[in-house]
Amino acid sequence: MTNEQEPGAALDYKIVILSRYCGEFQPATSETVTIRKTSEEIKLDIRPMADLSTNEIAAYMATHNYTIGFDDNTPVWLMRKDGEMELRQHE
């Protein structure tokens, strides 16, 4: 067994972990959202498993149909967890 890895192999485990995490929270719209999280919050959630940058998380979310919304003036990812009631919009 060699210590050398194929190019991109180091990133593969991060994608597996982030994909599994996102499997718990499906993409949502402003009408179906049950959870709003920033890339930094997702980073902290995943931190016990792997070190991902906020840019890696944002790139993944943006390319996997997650929508950006706003919580006050903070951009957040709109997600939903099956079986939970939708969040009401701030008025």
Q: 3-class SS at 37?
A: strand
Question: Which bin fits 85, alpha (ψ -120 to 50), beta or left (φ > 0)?
Answer: beta
Instruction: State percent of the chain over pLDDT 70.
Output: 78
Q: Is 26 contained in some domain?
A: yes
For residues 59-72, average pLDDT: 96
Domain assignment present for residue 32? The answer is: yes
Q: Tell me, yes or no, whether 34 lies in a domain.
A: yes
Contact 18, 58 (CB under 8 A): no
Using the predicted structure, report yes or no on whether residue 76 has a pLDDT greater than 70.
yes
Residues 6+ apart with CB under 8 A from 49: 17
- How many domains are there within the chain? 1
Question: With a threshold of 0.75, does the pTM exceed it?
Answer: yes
56 is a domain residue: yes
Local confidence band at 91 (pLDDT 50, 70, 90 cut-offs): very low
Residue 57, domain member (yes or no): yes
